[in-house]
């Protein structure tokens, strides 16, 4: 009992640390609001106004609607402000840490659950995206929970006695139609019984969990484009089980065919709203709504040598874990790698360990199936490790199949949980009492449980300190971060929101993708901070200056400082340019003509 209480307390400590890191000063870090975040928020606000939450929002290259709908729910409860916006990804990130603990416990044991969730909790990579209004943060959440239930389903089904038989109580005469016979067959399969005639509740529970895993997995199609490759992980999972049960038809039905059917049914049910939207609007299905200019598969980008191009992009993506990470200041603190250096070493060791375990599993399974040799196979280890290894490489694909901005931490975010779980296994092995042979322990006298725990704790503490300083002090206080998150646009939005002047014009001259409003998406950051406040502001594009009406106390705000435009406005309207400073970041000042 004391051990269980201690374990629960450790889980709570990890969750408290994760919560603090994700919710602390949400209005300050990141120091701005990038237009891609802002358009998520303004789309949510427009959907609230119209009382029309959507499965898909076509603005800004098109986005799956779940994240925007969650933002709308947050705004409805907490009001329209930056904290209400950033609270959504922060809560998603915190729930992901809980899911990481459950998944780690299910795959590599109780200690594994603690270590995996702790590494995720203090991860710079996950912390960063848990505080940014990008919908991609939903991908790790969906993956950890869906595969937790899928692996648990597998464990329950595998731990059955193996002596079940189908109870066929209804004759064909009582079920004359094909549909009735099919329904009866499904019922009979779900009602597997052992020799004593008692229901095998672990089988029922296993199939039910497979359905639950599918229901969660299907939600993933409402999150982010990169999730669409995730079904490949499920294929690998069931393929590995199929290999281990190749010669046993009843086991194949129990552990592959039926749970796969339940999983597919669950996924279909929750994915159907967005699937229906794509059926009605097939132009929305493609990447970036038909813009494939960043795909490495495009001959223009691979220059006719696809293998060489993919090899290059893969190496660029894979190296982010050890060498230079994402160079985008919205995604990372350049040039830091995506993993804290000691964790990167653990990841490399775990990757080698996983690879050889899976390779050994394939060899032994092949000997058993094709050579009829009696070989002892660690089936659970083979299935779990093989699936996790496949998960890591498959979810890297959305990044390395593109040529833009590599390495790209956002597009490869689906690989994040797998990377940290693989990194956890060396520490789990270290904590095992039988880590070293007994003779070696007696001879060297260097190994003890206390030393192992100290080493594990030291790694986690160093990661916490290192990543916290990097995020909140070095990155969060840097002008580069303020510039990357368009702090200047935030300042303009707040300036307009606090103004009560008539005759205010905003010249929207910052080039970016034009959205449904007819203005560049860069306007959305300003619109969010001015939402429901100063509605008298007139927004104009640079070629619409003739629409400005001269009046007393007139004021023109320039979205992006442009000396030529300022000179033209000064001459035309006899105005004087004034710089509105930012006390903390002088680099994000903006210009007002009065």
pLDDT at position 165: 44
- For 415, which DSSP code? G
Mean pLDDT calculated for residue range 562-582: 92
Taking 70 as the threshold, does the pLDDT of residue 419 lie above it? yes
Mean pLDDT calculated for residue range 405-431: 96
Where helices occur in 122-170 by DSSP H, the ranges are 124-129, 138-158
160-205 pLDDT tens trace: 644 444 433 333 444 456 666 666 666 665 655 544 444 456 888 8
Residue 152: which pLDDT band, with cuts at 50, 70 and 90?
Answer: very high
Mean pLDDT calculated for residue range 4-26: 96
359-390 pLDDT tens trace: 999 888 878 767 677 667 788 899 999 999 99
Cα dihedral 48/52/58/60 (nearest 10): 0
What's the burial of 184, exposed, middle or buried (CB within 10 Å: 0-12/13-18/19+)? Answer: middle
Cα–Cα distances (Å) from 462 to 259, 335, 471, 487, in that order, read 42, 19, 14, 31
The position carrying tokens 């943060």 is 137
pLDDT at position 136: 97
Taking 90 as the threshold, does the pLDDT of residue 591 lie above it? yes
For residues 173 and 133, the model is more confident at 133
Residue 465: which pLDDT band, with cuts at 50, 70 and 90?
Answer: very high
Measured CA to CA, the distance from residue 483 to residue 14 in angstroms comes to: 33
Specify the range with the lowest mean pLDDT, choosing from 240-249, 427-436, 505-514: 427-436
Specify the range with the lowest mean pLDDT, choosing from 210-214, 266-270, 338-342, 508-512: 508-512
Measured CA to CA, the distance from residue 483 to residue 310 in angstroms comes to: 32
Specify the range with the lowest mean pLDDT, choosing from 102-106, 228-232, 406-410, 439-443: 439-443
pLDDT at position 27: 94
Measured CA to CA, the distance from residue 496 to residue 558 in angstroms comes to: 12
Taking 90 as the threshold, does the pLDDT of residue 443 lie above it? no
The position carrying tokens 């813009």 is 291
Using a pLDDT cut of 70, give the percent of the chain over it: 88
CA atoms within 13 A of residue 396's CA, in its CB half-sphere = 22
pLDDT at position 124: 98
Taking 70 as the threshold, does the pLDDT of residue 108 lie above it? yes
pLDDT at position 189: 59
Taking 60 as the threshold, does the pLDDT of residue 118 lie above it? yes
pLDDT at position 583: 84
pLDDT at position 197: 46
Taking 90 as the threshold, does the pLDDT of residue 559 lie above it? yes
Taking 80 as the threshold, does the pLDDT of residue 254 lie above it? yes
pLDDT at position 179: 66
Average pLDDT over the chain reads 89
Does pTM surpass 0.85?
yes
Type and span of the H or E element at 592: strand 590-593
- For 384, which DSSP code? H
Taking 90 as the threshold, does the pLDDT of residue 116 lie above it? yes
pLDDT at position 173: 45
pLDDT at position 440: 54
For residues 449 and 473, the model is more confident at 473
- Residue-wise over 191-214: b if at least 16 C-beta within 10 A, else e? ebbeeeeeebebbeebbbbbbbbb
Taking 50 as the threshold, does the pLDDT of residue 424 lie above it? yes
pLDDT at position 198: 47
Q: Are 158 and 252 in contact (CB under 8 A)?
A: no
Taking 90 as the threshold, does the pLDDT of residue 43 lie above it? yes
Taking 60 as the threshold, does the pLDDT of residue 438 lie above it? no
């Amino acid at each position: 009992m004391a051990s269980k209480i201690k374990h629960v307390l450790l889980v709570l400590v990890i969750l408290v640390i994760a919560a603090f890191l994700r919710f602390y000063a949400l209005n300050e870090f990141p120091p701005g609001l990038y237009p891609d975040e802002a358009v998520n928020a303004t789309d949510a606000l427009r959907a609230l106004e119209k009382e029309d939450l959507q499965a898909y929002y076509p603005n800004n290259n098109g986005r799956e609607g779940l994240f925007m709908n969650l933002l709308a729910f947050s705004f409805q409860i907490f009001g329209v402000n930056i904290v209400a916006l950033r609270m959504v990804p922060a809560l998603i990130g915190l729930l992901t840490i809980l899911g990481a603990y459950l998944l780690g416990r299910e795959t590599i044991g109780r200690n594994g659950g603690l270590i995996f969730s702790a590494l995720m909790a203090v991860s710079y990579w996950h912390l960063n995206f848990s505080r940014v209004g990008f919908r991609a943060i939903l991908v790790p959440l969906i993956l950890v929970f869906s595969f937790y239930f899928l692996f648990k389903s597998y464990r329950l089904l595998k731990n059955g006695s193996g002596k079940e038989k189908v109870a066929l109580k209804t004759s064909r005469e009582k079920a004359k139609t094909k549909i009735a016979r099919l329904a009866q067959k499904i019922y009979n399969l779900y009602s597997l019984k052992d020799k004593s005639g008692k229901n095998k509740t672990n089988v029922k529970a296993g199939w039910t969990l497979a359905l639950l895993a599918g229901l969660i997995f299907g939600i993933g199609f409402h999150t982010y484009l990169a999730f669409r490759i995730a079904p490949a992980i499920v294929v690998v999972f069931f393929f590995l089980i199929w290999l281990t049960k190749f010669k046993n038809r009843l086991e194949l039905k129990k552990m592959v065919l039926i749970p796969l059917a339940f999983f597919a049914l669950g996924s279909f049910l929750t994915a159907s709203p967005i699937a229906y939207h794509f059926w009605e609007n097939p132009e929305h299905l493609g990447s970036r709504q038909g813009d494939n200019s960043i795909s490495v598969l495009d001959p223009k980008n691979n220059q006719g040598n696809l293998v060489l191009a993919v090899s290059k992009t893969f190496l660029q993506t894979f190296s982010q874990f050890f060498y230079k990470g994402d160079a985008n200041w919205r995604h990372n603190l350049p040039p830091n790698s995506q993993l804290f250096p000691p964790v990167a070493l653990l990841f490399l060791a775990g990757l080698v360990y996983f690879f050889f375990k899976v390779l050994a599993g394939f060899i032994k399974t092949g000997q058993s199936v094709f050579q009829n040799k009696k070989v002892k196979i660690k089936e659970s280890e083979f299935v779990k490790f093989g699936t996790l290894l496949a998960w890591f490489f498959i979810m890297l694909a959305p990044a390395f199949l593109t040529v833009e901005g590599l390495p790209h931490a956002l597009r490869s975010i689906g690989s994040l949980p797998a990377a940290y779980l693989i990194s956890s296994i060396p520490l789990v092995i270290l904590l095992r009492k039988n880590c070293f042979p007994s003779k070696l322990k007696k001879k060297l006298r260097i190994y003890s449980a206390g030393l192992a725990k100290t080493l594990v704790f030291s790694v986690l503490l160093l990661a916490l300190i290192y990543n916290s300083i990097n995020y909140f002090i070095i990155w969060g206080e840097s002008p580069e971060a303020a510039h990357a998150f368009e702090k200047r646009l935030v300042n303009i939005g707040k300036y307009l929101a606090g103004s009560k002047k008539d005759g205010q014009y905003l010249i929207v001259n910052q080039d970016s993708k034009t959205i449904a409003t007819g203005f560049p998406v860069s306007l959305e950051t300003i619109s969010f901070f001015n939402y429901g406040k100063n509605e008298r502001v007139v927004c104009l594009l640079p070629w619409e200056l003739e629409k400005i009406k001269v009046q007393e106390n007139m004021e023109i705000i320039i979205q992006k400082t442009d000396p030529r435009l300022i000179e033209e406005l000064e001459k035309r309207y006899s105005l004087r340019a004034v710089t509105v400073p930012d006390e903390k970041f002088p680099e994000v000042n903006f210009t007002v003509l009065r």
